[in-house]
Structure 1
Amino acid sequence: MAVAKRKASSVDALKPLANGGNAPPPKRRAPSRNASTAAATVNPNINGEIIDAPGATRASPDGDVNVDIVPGAVKQANRTRSESPLSDAPAVVEPPKKKNRGGAKKADAGRDVHEAEEVVSAVVDAATSGKPAPAKKARGKKVKQEDGDDEAATKHAKPSPPKKARTPADDERADPEAEGDEEADEEEVKEALSRPPPVNSDYLPLPWKGRLGYACLNTYLRQSNPPVFSSRTCRIQSILEHRHPLRDESQPEHPTKNKPDRSKPADVELGKRYMEAICLANVKDVAKMVRWNHKYNIKFFRLSSEMFPFASHPEYGYRLAPFATEALADAGRVIAELGHRVTTHPGQFTQLGSPRKQVIDNAIRDLEYHDEMLSLLKLPEQQNRDAVMILHMGGIFDGKEDTLLRFREIYAKLSDSVKNRLVLENDDVCYSVHDLLPICEELNIPMVLDYHHHNIIFDAAQIREGTKDIMDIYPRIKAMWDRKGIKQKMHYSEPTPAAITGRQRRKHSPRVATMPPCAPDMDLMIEAKDKEQAVFELMKTFKLPGYDTLNDILPYTRNDDNKVALATMNKKKRKDADETEPELVPDEDVGMGGPEGRVYWPPTMEEWLRPKKREVKKKAVPEGGKANEKMKKELAELYAAKEAEKKAAADGTVKEEDGEESDVEATPATKKARAAMKKKEQAAKMKAVAKAEADEAKKLAKEAAKAEKEAGNGSKVTNGAPKAATKAQGRKATVKKEVVEAAVPTPSPSDDEGSELELHDEDDDDDDAPPMPALKRRSTGSRATTGRQAKNMKVSYAEDDGEESMADD
């Protein structure tokens, strides 16, 4: 069969999308930006378009994303597997199991696969048509199966849905090594509890002389400033957007201030340059990760398959040479100089036993990409042979025998370089050690023994669960490695303590408690969620070489980063000119743990890697808090009483303080004199209240000043409460004054509108008392002006012209 090769360049892949897919893009003059300016911003703490690749944070490439490891400053809301380089691969198929297995899996690979095709197709259509991509459809009632003949109907999610029977279609869409929490029904639990106990060996490979390693991501370096990791990726849409020039090409890119301008013509070279910047940033950090590992005696590392995003994509794939040749060679020199071993592990969609040609083509492209990446490291001969690619057999399509037969046929067509690197690993879904041993011996393919997988999937007729019986076939496994001259490696991990059923036990524990019974000079990959910390845990437990190089980190403190120092230097200079600025850590030492090697964080204490969150302290209740509440209540009661009086006045009767009703038939002169007396009396009361409030405010201000003087400069937080209380007292005094003003009776409609009467106390010269505001009658004549509307207004008792004429008549 013909094998589809990867594209020589991403430029050709992007050409159909330029200019609406019609003519080739117009040639553009090279921008005048220098290399540093043209480089994209690849720090995910600054650029939200740069995200962590899902494969980097898994305990193994087939598990779900471990979001707890890398929260980051930018929440990975757009993290998805929908744009996998092999997104059109089918779901892994496992044989139908017992029905009536309740609980739906959180990680549904088959459903994600078909959604991936829709998302990628929508993005491409949107780019060619210029229309926005449609919103992601809700997961519908039908899911297309591997062979395309059947469709399994599932109900939409509802609140508290009843458990439904688990169908064979659910098993076919199972995701190998799923890391999500699994639900189990009563039948599963009973079956799991009835299994025989494991039989483990009491042998420990001590004293240890081998190499320990972890996969893809370093939790300590990922939280450095700037972060160090090799799994940066982005969305395809981001690549398409970066075909357009920046708004200001003379300045570096900024996520908000200097973004690509879509109004300018697209240039596929710009999109290519953007992707290459992400790739080169990943490769650059590999060298630092290897040096970090060497400092703490970790000499085995799995390179992330996402180091070159979309390199094996069927539409946007590209070759690594020549743009990454020099960068990979530099990383390879560091690896060779320190004598480390590196490997890779293509993901779950790379399957050579599928009956679909498209899946086979995708898998071959992915293997060729991994082989090119390892070859460009230019490692010495033995290290180059040891740089293997670990692969699962994958799903069961039409039975194991037919799947293995197709694998034999496709394997024969692979390039010699890929064959020399390819090794098979037993999985925890379909293929046990005894399923793979015959075909590995037949095709001369080394086999990686994974102890965790073996304890879940094994041939009970030949072997028991545990690490004791498996030791009987160690010679057969080792012989395949020796035949090719490759250093043997094994994988070790443990299930979470709470796992009971087989599906639950697939979830990897954050750390491991012991070591497997392997050769003491073995290369052992620890597949655990806490990555390098799981290796440190073994070092501390068994006093392995390198345990004396590390120490516990200081909570919320990173002495090997420049974040605190830069923040101090950026502040305005203080009055003390003799104060020395903090020293910056050299770039090569950032994230290296400092001279004391503080890189180990205790289990579940990952938050210590990041600065402590600011705690908002509650303001202290002022001493006069209860009195203020009482005053507020009294003012509310006074306001309600005045409102009742207004309502009574509107009905035609107003009750005086002595209980007598006012005479509505009184002459204008009588009404005028009576209103003047009432106004003067109310003004006197209001002034008394205002003066009392002012005195109280002064008293509180003096107490606050005294407390601040005693406490000194460090009492800013506690002094805020008296100051806030003073402001509150002033506001309450204003409210009370407004309420009193609102209680002033409305003058009679017969008052002279042309004359004005300004109310004030001629004998009062107290400067502390606020000036007496004058009130002016509202045009309605039914209610008094209240609140701020009454300030600095004069009360007019002038009669309306019409009423005055009637009185004269």
Structure 2
Amino acid sequence: MSMRATRSSVRKRDVGGQAYEDTPSGLSEPTLEISRKTRRPAKRPRVDKEETDRIRAGNARQTPKTDAEITSKIEDQDGTEIDPESGADIDEDVAAVKRDAARPPPVNSEYLPLPWKGRLGYACINTYLRTSTPPVFSSRTCRIASILAHRHPLHNEMLPEHATHNRPNRAAPADVARGCRYVEGIGLANVRDVPRMLRWNDKYGIRFMRLSSDMFPFASHEVYGYKLAPFATRALAEVGGLAAKLGHRLTMHPGQYTQLGSPRQGVVENAVRDLEYHDEMLCLLKLPEQQDRDAVMVLHLGGTFGDKTATIKRFKTNYEALSASIKKRLVLENDDVSWSVHDLLPVCEELNIPLVLDFHHHNIIFDASQVREGTHDIVPLFPRIKATWDRKQIKQKMHYSEPRPEAVTARQRRRHNPRPSSLPPCPNDMDLMIEAKDKEQAVFGLMRTLKLPGWNSFADIIPYERTDDKRAVLKKVRGTETQAGRDINKVGDVSPKIRREVDEMAEDEIGMGGEDSRVYWPPGMEEWLRPKKRDVRKREGPPI
């Protein structure tokens, strides 16, 4: 006998922070429970947005922050949380948004460096090659726990490693050298993909690239670090030989934690090890003399630690203690948190260090007593900046990116626009690093917009389809083959027809865009690079 639920009054309940009316019902108890979950919540009273803004602004006025407090907060968040190429939103309080929105408008130069004769570059990752089959990239990594685990032999050393069926046997004796060979193998896999990236760049008119600092995982670690020679000597020399042949420029950019101005000795020691690692990698490329000079390491000065003067003094002391090889490559870049061009230029002139001008950073952190926001007022400093490069006979480079269109506050403007829309007023023969989330596609976008050399060397990709990898060839001629026959990993089991077409596809053609050079994906359509996900619809069951 089913029980009936009775209600003598209307009660209010709260589900997920929203109120709904619980009214009497004649449904059976099980059905009533389902009805409670699916019942539409009652509308919440609307809150006056202007009133909310007024309250928030009042709270902000009650607890004003000093410039030092604001700077400290931004430094902490920038150092640990904010990724310039991330698309995530940044929440700001109303007062900060209103304050920054009312700042004087930027004053930009009217000069456009056309006709363009320089080199545009991108950093570390090629989005098209990264999603090819097999993927091509140079930042494979691992965890320290994996290094420790691979000090032990596999359960069956006659078979390849498998995530579940053939893992390291922790009961067997550990061998430090075995663990080192494991992480070195990851580094070599990264290096072996760089030549294909260089050939791809050359095909599409890109002759400037930043190598990934993550190419050799944990190489500069205090405990698990290792030297690159001799195990990577040959592989890196092959990369350098190809770069020399194609006339490409290669640079590097140590990370934000490499700080020579830190008051903590441990941080400085870590920074020196990291610079030694980057320097060794660039030296092992064995580039010709001028290309070797141009293979610089870009460094930020880092935090101010509450005292810019003391930080600069520590930086000078630690810089003088560096090896001659590191000092030959080290260049400084203005940042978007603490150090402006006017802060760094005197330091660079005194220590004979080239200065990288980053236009995007300059528009956020600048000396308001000498210049206005924008690109116009910085142009008179170009001769002094160029002189820091000429003294060392290094080809000058600059960095360029743009803030996202919706950005207002300084923190929000630090986010990079996925694709900048124009060029800065730099000399038209500049080596210009485009720092953007869309990497090589951002370079393509500038080529197309401004009709730069190479703008017609590439075409749009076909959504969700690839015509330049072996999986695409198998799909093209699969006919009525079995699923195993269509699997690229089981190519030995397929018919002679498929095997012949796969074998005839040259290794150098994989990921290169095919006959029509289809390597460009429109803004916001990165999902086109991968096969479209199947839309699996669940069968509707009988009503409950």
Alignment TM-score, normalising by the size of structure 2: 0.81
Show the 5 A alignment for 1:373-772.
Answer: 373-566=281-474, 568=478, 571=483, 580-581=497-498, 583-584=501-502, 585-617=505-537
In structure 1, the residue matched to 2:245 is: 337
The Cα of 1:264 is off from its aligned counterpart by 1.6
Q: 2:78 aligns with which of 175, 190, 213?
A: 175
What is the letter of the counterpart of residue 493 of structure 1?
S
Q: 1:243 aligns with which of 131, 151, 160?
A: 151
Show the 5 A alignment for 1:269-308.
Answer: 269-308=177-216
What is the letter of the counterpart of residue 391 of structure 1?
L
CA distance in 2, matches of 1:312, 1:101: 42
Task: Say whether the 8 Å CA contact 1:252–1:258 is kept in structure 2.
Answer: yes
What is the letter of the counterpart of residue 358 of structure 1?
G
Q: Residues 474-517 of structure 1: CA distance to partner in whole angstroms, max 9, x if unpaired?
A: 00000111110000000000011110000110011111000011
Task: Say whether the 8 Å CA contact 2:115–2:428 is kept in structure 1.
Answer: yes
Task: Say whether the 8 Å CA contact 2:121–2:434 is kept in structure 1.
Answer: yes
The Cα of 1:101 is off from its aligned counterpart by 7.9
CA distance in 1, matches of 2:74, 2:127: 33
Cα 1:264–1:515 change in 2 (3 A) is: same
In structure 2, the residue matched to 1:368 is: 276
The Cα of 1:218 is off from its aligned counterpart by 0.4
What is the letter of the counterpart of residue 552 of structure 1?
D
Cα 1:178–1:99 change in 2 (3 A) is: farther
CA distance in 1, matches of 2:161, 2:247: 38
The Cα of 1:580 is off from its aligned counterpart by 4.1
CA distance in 1, matches of 2:495, 2:96: 72
Q: How large is the RMSD of aligned CA atoms in angstroms?
A: 2.4
Cα 1:276–1:573 change in 2 (3 A) is: closer
In structure 2, the residue matched to 1:255 is: 163
Secondary structure of the equivalent of 2:391?
A: helix
Query: Which blocks of at least 5 consecutive residues in structure 2 are unaligned?
Result: 1-59, 487-493
Task: Say whether the 8 Å CA contact 1:451–1:493 is kept in structure 2.
Answer: yes
What is the letter of the counterpart of residue 270 of structure 1?
R
Secondary structure of the equivalent of 2:91?
A: coil
What is the letter of the counterpart of residue 211 of structure 2?
L
CA distance in 2, matches of 1:544, 1:169: 42
Q: Residues 232-290 of structure 1: CA distance to partner in whole angstroms, max 9, x if unpaired?
A: 10000001111111111111112222111112221222211111110000000111111
Secondary structure of the equivalent of 1:217?
A: coil
CA distance in 1, matches of 2:364, 2:540: 58
Secondary structure of the equivalent of 2:121?
A: strand
Secondary structure of the equivalent of 2:441?
A: helix
Secondary structure of the equivalent of 1:469?
A: coil
The Cα of 1:579 is off from its aligned counterpart by 9.6
What is the letter of the counterpart of residue 498 of structure 1?
E
In structure 2, the residue matched to 1:131 is: none
Task: Say whether the 8 Å CA contact 2:74–2:411 is kept in structure 1.
Answer: no
Where relative contact order (Cα < 8 A, 6+ residues apart) is larger, the structure is 2
Cα 1:357–1:378 change in 2 (3 A) is: same
Q: Residues 687-737 of structure 1: CA distance to partner in whole angstroms, max 9, x if unpaired?
A: xxxxxxxxxxxxxxxxxxxxxxxxxxxxxxxxxxxxxxxxxxxxxxxxxxx
Task: Say whether the 8 Å CA contact 2:474–2:498 is kept in structure 1.
Answer: no
Task: Say whether the 8 Å CA contact 1:283–1:327 is kept in structure 2.
Answer: yes
CA distance in 1, matches of 2:315, 2:61: 28
The Cα of 1:566 is off from its aligned counterpart by 4.5
Secondary structure of the equivalent of 1:173?
A: helix
In structure 2, the residue matched to 1:800 is: none
The Cα of 1:223 is off from its aligned counterpart by 0.2
CA distance in 2, matches of 1:294, 1:99: 58
Secondary structure of the equivalent of 1:525?
A: strand
Cα 1:297–1:556 change in 2 (3 A) is: same
The Cα of 1:337 is off from its aligned counterpart by 0.4
CA distance in 2, matches of 1:262, 1:490: 50
Task: Say whether the 8 Å CA contact 2:211–2:251 is kept in structure 1.
Answer: yes
CA distance in 2, matches of 1:303, 1:330: 14
Task: Say whether the 8 Å CA contact 2:467–2:473 is kept in structure 1.
Answer: no
Task: Say whether the 8 Å CA contact 1:99–1:167 is kept in structure 2.
Answer: no
Equivalent residue pairs, number: 463
CA distance in 2, matches of 1:168, 1:299: 38
Query: Which blocks of at least 5 consecutive residues in structure 1 are unaligned?
Result: 1-96, 103-165, 634-809
Q: Residues 547-570 of structure 1: CA distance to partner in whole angstroms, max 9, x if unpaired?
A: 111000011111101124446466
In structure 1, the residue matched to 2:108 is: 200
Task: Say whether the 8 Å CA contact 1:211–1:521 is kept in structure 2.
Answer: yes
Q: Residues 310-347 of structure 1: CA distance to partner in whole angstroms, max 9, x if unpaired?
A: 01111111100000000100111111000000000000
Secondary structure of the equivalent of 1:484?
A: coil
The Cα of 1:372 is off from its aligned counterpart by 0.3
Task: Say whether the 8 Å CA contact 1:101–1:184 is kept in structure 2.
Answer: no
Task: Say whether the 8 Å CA contact 2:333–2:357 is kept in structure 1.
Answer: yes
Task: Say whether the 8 Å CA contact 1:101–1:185 is kept in structure 2.
Answer: no
Cα 1:258–1:99 change in 2 (3 A) is: farther
Cα 1:578–1:437 change in 2 (3 A) is: closer
CA distance in 1, matches of 2:484, 2:316: 70
After TM superposition, the structure 1 stretch with the greater mean CA deviation from structure 2, 306-315 or 258-267, is 258-267
CA distance in 2, matches of 1:219, 1:98: 46
The Cα of 1:571 is off from its aligned counterpart by 3.4
CA distance in 2, matches of 1:269, 1:185: 53
CA distance in 1, matches of 2:136, 2:273: 28
Q: Residues 202-250 of structure 1: CA distance to partner in whole angstroms, max 9, x if unpaired?
A: 1111111111100000000000111100001000000111111111111
What is the letter of the counterpart of residue 442 of structure 1?
E
Q: Residues 94-127 of structure 1: CA distance to partner in whole angstroms, max 9, x if unpaired?
A: xxx999589xxxxxxxxxxxxxxxxxxxxxxxxx
State the identity as a percent. 63
Task: Say whether the 8 Å CA contact 2:71–2:337 is kept in structure 1.
Answer: no
The Cα of 1:181 is off from its aligned counterpart by 2.7
Cα 1:270–1:379 change in 2 (3 A) is: same
Cα 1:487–1:579 change in 2 (3 A) is: closer
The Cα of 1:170 is off from its aligned counterpart by 3.7
| Structure with greater Cα Rg | 1
In structure 2, the residue matched to 1:359 is: 267
CA distance in 2, matches of 1:326, 1:478: 35
What is the letter of the counterpart of residue 548 of structure 1?
N
CA distance in 1, matches of 2:213, 2:64: 34
CA distance in 2, matches of 1:286, 1:98: 54
The Cα of 1:617 is off from its aligned counterpart by 4.5
The Cα of 1:398 is off from its aligned counterpart by 3.9
